[in-house]
Amino acid sequence: MEIQGSIAFVTGANRGMGRHFAQQLLERGAAKVYAGARRIESVDLPGAEAVQLDITDPVSVAAAAKTASDATLLINNAGIVTFENLIDGSEAAIRREMETNFFGTLRMVRAFAPVLGANGGGAMLNMLSALSWRSAGVSHAYSAAKAASWSLTNGARLELAPQGTQVVGLHVAGVDTDMLAGIEAEKSNPADVVRTGLDGIESGALEVLADKATVDAKAILHADPGIVYPELNPAGTAR
C-alpha cells in the first residue's frame, strides 16, 4: 500500500520506536496519524492526533478502534520487556509480558481488522524481534511472548488475506531506545529500523528483517538446537 494519503494508527506512539513511526508516517505524507498512548498528554508530536490507549484493556482498545474508524494502516508497536526468565522469574511478570506483547497485539488486530477491511484492506505491521526465533540472556519470557506474536502475525496474515489486508512482521535485534537503556549490546538506530519497516509496507513485503543479527538468526532457524545454541555444548562451540 502507499503511505502517502493513508490514515495510520500507531500504538505506543509517545516515545521510542512508536514516536519514530508516527513522525516518519507524517513525513511520508500520511493524511492522519493517530498516536495511541496510555497517557495522551505524553504525546508531543506536532501533527499527530493523540488517542488514549492501553492495549491490555479491551474497553480502551474498542474505544480506540471506534475513534479511528477511518484507519487504513495499523502499526502494532507497543510492548514491554521484563527481563524475566522462565524457571525462576516472577510468574506475574511473565504473564504481564504475554498479556502485553501477545494478547495486547491480538486485541488490536481483532479490533482493527474490520476497520481496515471496511476501508479497502490496508495494512498492519507487527513489531517483532530476532528473539522471536531465539531465546537469549535474561529475557526468555520476552522471547516466548515474541515467538507467540510471530505466530499470531502469520495466522492473521492468512485470515486477513481475503479482505486484502497486508500483514507485515518487522523483526529486529537490539534497538537504541529506553527499553534497552543500560544494556550493553549492539543496537540499531530506531529511525533506521522504522524507515526499513515502512519501506517494507510500501514494497508489499510480508516480513522485514531490519539488521544483520536478525538476518543471521532467521538463516539458522531450521538448524539443530546445538547449532542455534552453541552455549548448550560443553566446549561452547557448535556441534
Could you tell me if residue 238 is inside a domain?
A: no
3-state SS, residue 97: helix
Q: What is the reported pTM?
A: 0.92
- Which structural domain, as residue segments, surrounds residue 129? 7-232
What CA–CA distance (Å, rounded) separates 199 from 196? 5
List the one residue out of 140, 106, 97 whose CA is nearest residue 126. Answer: 106
Residue 238 has pLDDT above 80, yes or no: no
Sheet holding 166-171, edge to edge: 49-52, 32-37, 7-10, 73-76, 123-127, 166-171, 207-209
In a domain, 19, yes or no: yes
pLDDT tens profile 105-150: 999 999 999 999 999 999 999 999 999 999 987 789 999 999 999 9
What are the tens digits of pLDDT across the range 58-103?
Answer: 999 999 999 999 999 999 999 999 999 999 999 999 999 999 999 9
- The confidence score (pLDDT) of residue 24 equals 97
Is the separation of the CB atoms in 83 and 128 below 8 Å?
no
pLDDT at 231: 86
User: Residue 26 belongs to a domain with what CATH number?
Assistant: 3.40.50.720
CA dihedral sign of residues 213, 170, 190, 131: negative
On whether residue 145 sits in a domain, the answer given is yes
Q: How many domains does the chain have?
A: 1
Residue 59 counted as domain residue:
yes
> Has residue 97 been placed in a domain?
yes
Q: Is residue 2 part of a domain?
A: no
Residue 54: pLDDT over 90: yes
- Chain segment 181-216, per-residue pLDDT in tens: 456 567 678 899 999 999 999 999 999 999 999 999
The one-letter amino acid code at 28 reads: R
Is residue 23, in this structure, part of any structural domain at all?
A: yes
Is 237 within the bounds of a domain?
Answer: no
